Structure formats: C-alpha cells, structure tokens
Structure 1
Amino acid sequence: MRSHVNQRHERVLEIVRRRGGLRVTELAEELGVSAVTVRRDIETLAEQGRLMRLHGSVTCPEPPVSGPAADGAGMDASVPSAPTGVVLGMVVPSMEHYFAELVKGAQDAVAARGGRLVLGIAHWRSEEDTAQIGRMLDGGVDGLLIQPSWERGVPSPEQEQQLLALRVPAVLVDRRVPLGGRLAGLDSARSDHALGAAVAVHHLAGLGHERISLLAQDNPTSPQVQEGYEAAMAARGLPVPPLVNVDPEDPAGLEEAARSLYRSVAKGGVTAAIVHNDQTAIGVVQRLRERGLSLPGDISLVAYEDEMAALADVPLTAVAPPRQAVGESAVEMMFARLAGGPGAAAPSRHLSLVPRLMVRASSAPPR
C-alpha cells in the first residue's frame, strides 16, 4: 500500500514538473483519482518541500525560468519565484482611464509571473462588487485584488464583513484601510492621495500663492485629497477658502463651480486652485477663460489625476498618482502571500505610493 502511495507521489511530481503548475482538479483528472486524494498527496509533498501548494492549485517550489526573465530582469527580487497557473480575480468600479492603467499594471505583473488575471467591473455599485466577488470565488480564483465601490472611500459594516469572510487571500487596491476599522489584516496597495494633494499645495505656495482654492468631486478619493490639501495649507499657515464641490457630469454643476471660482478670484483674492480631476479642471478652465481670466496670469491651476491634463489648451500642471505601479504592487503582495501557503502568518502590509507632480504651463508665480 505504501509503495502504491509513493508511486502516486512520484507521478504527481512528474506531472507538475512537466506542466509547471496546474489546478488540483486538473491533476486529479489526469491521475484518475479523487480531488480529496490529490489534496492529501499535495499536503504530504508540500510538507516535504517538494511542492508548493496554493489555493486550488499546485506548482514546483522553484519553477524553471527561461528567456528574458531568466536573469531576473523586470522582476522584484524580493518577491518569491512566480508559480505558473495562478488565477487572480480583480474587481474595479470602472474601466475609465484611471482604472484602465491600474488594471494594466496588474495584468502585466500577473502575466510576467506566469498567471492569469480575470476582471470584474462593478459599475460603482456595491451590490455588483458582491456579485463579481461571488462569481470569481465560484470560478476557483486563487486570490482577489479588490478596489471596492465604497461611498466616499469608507466601507459599511456589511462591506467590511464581506472582505473579512473571504476564503482566499485578498489585497485591497487603491483604497485606504479605515483607521479603527476591522480591515487592518488585509494587505493593501494604494496611491497616497493625501500626500498628492499636499504636493500640489506646496508647489503653489512655493511659487508665492497664499490664497489657494480646492474644487473636488464627490468620490472615494475626494476625502483624502481634501485631507491632504487642508493639512498642507495649515502647515504653510495659509487660510482655507470654502471647498467647492463639483459634478463634472452635470453641466450646470460645472458652470456653478466655475462661477464660484471666478468670484473668488475677482473678489476674494484667490490666485490659484487645485481641481480634482482632469475632466473637471479642463471644463472649469474653459469657462474661466470665457469670463476673461487667463492661465497662469490671473490664476494658476493644478489638476489632480493627470490623465489628460497635458492635452488642455493650456497644458495643465498636474498631480499624477502612480496607477500602474499600484496595480503591480498589489500583484507582488498577492504572490508573496500565496507563496507562504494557506494560513501564512506573515504580517499584513499597507503600501502607500506617493504621486508625482508634473509641472506644465498652468502654474506660475502670482502677478
């Protein structure tokens, strides 16, 4: 009996070495035995260090590498060797420009490690987050990268519980783990939007601007942008004008925001503004110029996101969150978590990447 088990173990190893990695169900089918038997074999071989087990799949502990990546080019040496056959699910609120770049970063990083990324789009609906996650779990993904559609970036108790109850590893993508919440145990990778807004304030204040306004959308990123703006203004000892909320999809709202900023320039002494995001900034600039204001002569402006800021009539100085790098970092964290095996006790990590400032023609010293 023991000899028969040993023979099956050797057969398992031969198949995994030949194929580089495969799912447990595929291995059971090829061996002609039950999935329960295969899982028991995998557990034994993993304890011996002869296999690496993942959630629903198995691979060699050190898969062979060939081609351009053989010398480690383009790979993070701190991340364990990538097993092939890993399938990750990724849920995002939308596939507009910002999210498309983030997904591309994740997709490239997964492909470079021999895996596959499955995408789900929630269309900014929390119930669709739940549906997409359920579909991916039913499909047998090994891990989840989740950018949830939280209102103003804060989860409800039900949304927290959903993430806590996941049966596969998860990485929170471009969302801040709420202070005092229950999600501190989740790995997370995000742009530090508060620091990004602060970078914009310090740029404008460094040029000599003392009255700097903020125009912001109402979305999950906005609270962090506002937080960083107010903290940087306080650090500079500058007064904080009233926040202007704007809906770029509503022409009337965009018109009102431009009108409010125009009044602040004409009567309130405002000489600069930070506008979240590019779409809003371009619309506001067009309306300000129709009212006779010039950039950067009458007002300097910094856009937040840098998706299309360079394409404005006056190319806009902009804060650029590192979207692709966030996606790549989320994948690196996931593979490190999977390499530890089920129940890995490594401490959770919260990685914040600082946005960059792209200086263009729309910002200058006040005249």
Structure 2
Amino acid sequence: MTADEEDEMEDPDGEADPEGEPFSFTAAEADRGERLDKLLACGLDGLSRTRIRSLIDQGRVSSLGRTIADASLRVKPGQTFDVLVPEPEPALPVPQEIPLAVAYEDDDLLVIDKPAGMVVHPAAGNADGTLVNALLWHCGDRLSGIGGVRRPGIVHRLDKETSGLMVVAKNDLAHGGLAAQFADRSLSRTYHAVVAGVPSPARGEITGDIGRSPSDRKKMAVVAGGKPALTRYRVLKAFGTWASLVECTLATGRTHQIRVHMTHVGHPLIGDPVYGVRKNGIRGASRGIGPGAASARARGLPEPVRDAVVALDRQALHAVALRFNHPRDARPMQFESELPLDIQRLIGSLESI
C-alpha cells in the first residue's frame, strides 16, 4: 500500500488512541540543532528512526503538553520530549460469525452497509468484533491481501460511529483497481449529516489542511502544514435556524474530514462526542450539539427535540451513496443506503421545530 493510498483511508476508531508506555528524553547541550526524529531514535532504546517518525505522525510525541508534528524539528538544549508508545497490536484477526448487511457481492468485491458502532479492523482496544473479523467468516480466504494481514480487503474506512456504505476487495486485482480510483478521485462517496445551524451559502466548498490537533493528539484539526482536504456540501433541509440536513461529498479522504471541516466553519455534527461538545466539556441536555451558541440555542428547544438529540449516542453521519467503476470490466456501479433509524428519528423530531 502506498502512502497516497493510506491518506485516502478514514480512521476506523476515531475517538481516542489507545494508551501505551510513556518515555521521556531531555536534549543536552551536545544535541543542539539535532533533528527530533534522529535524537529520539538515538536516545530511546528499541525505537528506530522510522518508528519514531510514525509515532510523531500519530501525535504521540509532545513537549510541555504540546503535540509535536514535525519530525525534522531542530531541538534545543533542555527541551524534554514525551513519547507514548502504544501497546503491542493484538493477534492476527480471526473469523467471527457476525451478521453483515451486504448490498452487493460478486467474485471480486462486496459492498457493505456498515452499522454505527462497528470498528473496521482490529487495533489496540478493539481486538475483535470488527468488520474484518466478520469478513473473514463471510469470505474465508477470498479477500485481497494488499491491505495486510490485519486488514485484508479493506480499501477505505469509516469511523467507528459513522454508518453506511463501504466497498471491500476480494482479490488483489479489485483492490488495486479500487485504490487507483480513490487516488484519482473517480470513486465518489456521498454522506448525509445533521449539523448545528444552517451553513451559508447553502452550497459550497470547505477547504483547510487537516492534521493532528496541536493541543490534543486524539483529535484532528485544520492546521498549517496538514494534508490538503476539500469537502463539497449542500444544504438539503433546514430545521429553523437551529439545525440542518447537509449532503457532503469528499474530494479527499482525510481522517475525520467531514467532522473537522463542518466544525471548522461553525456547524459541528449533532451528537459528535469529539468535535461537537462545548469547549468547557459540559454535556447533559446539550450533549454533542455543538460549541458556543449552538449549545445555548438547544436549551430553548422543545423537550421532545432535546430528548431526541440526547438519545443519539453518536455523530449524525451516514455514508448514503457510493459510486465507482467495477475494477474488472469498468462498468459503472452505484449504491445507495437509507438513513438508519436513529438519524431518521432525530430528523423527524427536528421537523417539528
């Protein structure tokens, strides 16, 4: 898998990186001007320079509580760097008889309608019960190996609490063909989201490079030096001025892209526990609605609407459409998925505003 292909994959877990073993290292006078990755690789036993760079990319290196995102940073004497090394990865995934909602299947691929709450592949903290475990049971050894032994067949990902359509490769031909379509943007993914407020204009584009938040390594943010990201949106329906149903199409596939971009422009997703809570962390009746004015407006909503918002225990985001050309014969493939019941109930309540 190339780096570009990896960029097009969305984070499966989303909410928090697993904790691990912490290490600290303080730069001496002789280390002045040394690159950070080289310094840490020399100073910490058992961690190669490549491994250090990977940990930096994951937001696991910090100094004075601030996440360090630049492996080439030139260090100064007296600087202390904290490195959090994750626990060892779980054992290889095993087949598990977990029901799958299969929208389409042939000898090369299958399209899955993933439910909210399902992690895509095993990782620390989610050793089993994942989509990969279910696929291994469903497909046996008929899955592409390009994604590696821990995520066979996985061409792209959805956050754990994001529901909707995913395509899975059964062989390397399909995997390579689908990955190429991700890379050249010919594969189209469309999402529906319920957001706080009503974006203006009603149709537009959101740009902003996305990378690890400098203040919280568990979150992504629009940051200088991040990876370029573009989200196209249009408002499908407004619920007064308080909320709206928005259609989003990804031109890129960065981690948490829709959630980060919509929050960046002041319209966080309803129910989002990471990007939607108020800055002071208060939850309760306004849990996950959005920062600042959006949370304040929630207190004036009718009680049934507030109850519907509180009842939604995940971000209101669903992958509703997936379009690509079949990797074997290039025939156009198009799939659509209805909004799940929890988001339908939320919309039904908002329509009473």
TM-score when scaled to structure 2? 0.30
Larger Rg: 1
The structure whose residues are more often strand, as a share, is 2
1 or 2 for the larger relative contact order (CA 8 Å, sep ≥6)? Answer: 1
Q: Which structure's residues are more often helix, by fraction?
A: 1
TM-score normalised by structure 1 residue count: 0.29
